[in-house]
């Protein structure tokens, strides 16, 4: 089983991972931004546009789907997981159910979705999913995240990861320190080290096989409201320093989230990280790639605008960005 999990994990991170797992609320916001109302059919048409873009398999090795999407099919009635699989792209699934606050007077949240998880994982596996994703979020604010929030979210991620592996599914573990706020790069570094350290301690406690785990962390940056932003090289080196401090070598791959960065900035950071990584592969032995949502899709979404006559143009825009992100995952931009 462990050998199979290792193999699946390496296949998923071989190129890049497209995060197309927007919840019903999130996809509605994305479509509203281009003047389109979200419906299951409109959502399907949008995802189909991305999945059928010519050449996607050259740059994308995994796609994270939402519950609605994994059950949908293309115009010629090929289920999306099968369509992706036929392109040698691994289908994945978001299994968490969003966040809830510890209390109304605090910003700390924990992630929900543990109820019935084992049963859902088996269903998703039967639908074609080879990997899954669970996201926990941490807000840097006055006194937050608390140790309670760090511990509870790490526990949730570890229990989820164990359940995935028991079902023969590779878990993407996503502890995201949000860019929201005006915190400094140093504060982001400190909190991310804390969060990742607690997560890997919990994974060890629950005997999660690290070779069958993909980590989806944030890059280390200042908060988006901080006027003092670090240069690309500083972000890259600081991010690698955090990985070296916290991530065991056995982990099969690291796939960064974009966290609200612009497509160009997220791609530039990924490229700089991999240039540094390539110079010292013994210090940073992991495959380091991207699992971007908006940073891969945003430009194509705008080019499409919900109009069928724009599909070909939007697909071209999407593939151009996908190629750049893949090259950045190799440090070749």
Catalytic residues: 174, 216
- φ, ψ for residue 331, nearest 5 deg: 70, 35
| Residue 284, token pair as written in the block | 């940073």
Spatial CA neighbour of 266 closest among 224, 313, 311: 224
CB 159 within 8 A of CB 202: no
Tell me how far CA of residue 92 lies from CA of 80, 174, 253, in angstroms. 11, 14, 15
Residue 135 pairs in a beta bridge with 174
How many other CB atoms are there within 10 angstroms of residue 230's CB atom? 18
How many other CB atoms are there within 10 angstroms of residue 237's CB atom? 15
């Amino acid at each position: 089983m462990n050998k199979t999990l290792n193999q699946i994990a390496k296949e998923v991170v071989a190129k890049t991972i497209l995060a197309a797992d927007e919840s019903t609320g999130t996809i509605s916001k994305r479509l509203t931004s281009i003047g389109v109302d979200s419906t299951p059919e409109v959502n399907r048409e949008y995802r189909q546009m991305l999945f059928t873009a010519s050449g996607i398999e050259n740059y994308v090795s995994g796609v994270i789907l939402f519950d609605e999407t994994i059950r949908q099919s293309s115009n010629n009635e090929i289920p999306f997981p099968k369509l992706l699989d036929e392109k040698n792209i691994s289908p994945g699934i978001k299994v968490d159910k969003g966040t809830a606050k510890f209390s109304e007077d605090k910003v700390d949240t924990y992630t929900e979705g543990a109820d019935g998880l084992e049963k859902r994982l088996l269903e998703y596996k039967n639908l074609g999913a080879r990997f899954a994703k669970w996201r926990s979020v941490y807000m840097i604010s006055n006194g937050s995240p608390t140790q309670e929030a760090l511990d509870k979210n790490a526990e949730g991620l570890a229990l989820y990861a164990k359940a995935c592996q028991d079902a023969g599914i590779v878990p993407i573990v996503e502890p995201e320190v949000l860019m929201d706020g005006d915190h400094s790069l140093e504060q982001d570094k400190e909190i991310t080290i804390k969060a990742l350290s607690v997560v890997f301690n919990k994974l060890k406690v629950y005997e999660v096989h690290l070779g069958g785990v993909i980590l989806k962390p944030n890059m280390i940056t200042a908060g988006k409201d901080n006027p003092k932003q670090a240069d690309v090289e500083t972000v890259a080196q600081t991010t690698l320093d955090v990985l070296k401090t916290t991530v065991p070598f056995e982990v099969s791959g690291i796939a960064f989230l974009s966290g609200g960065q612009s497509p160009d900035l997220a791609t530039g950071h990924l490229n700089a990280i991999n240039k540094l990584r390539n110079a010292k592969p013994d210090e940073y032995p992991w495959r380091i790639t991207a699992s971007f949502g908006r940073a891969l899709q945003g430009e194509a979404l705008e080019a499409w605008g919900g109009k069928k006559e724009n599909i070909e143009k939007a697909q071209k825009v999407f593939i151009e960005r996908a190629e750049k992100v893949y090259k950045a995952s190799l440090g070749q931009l």
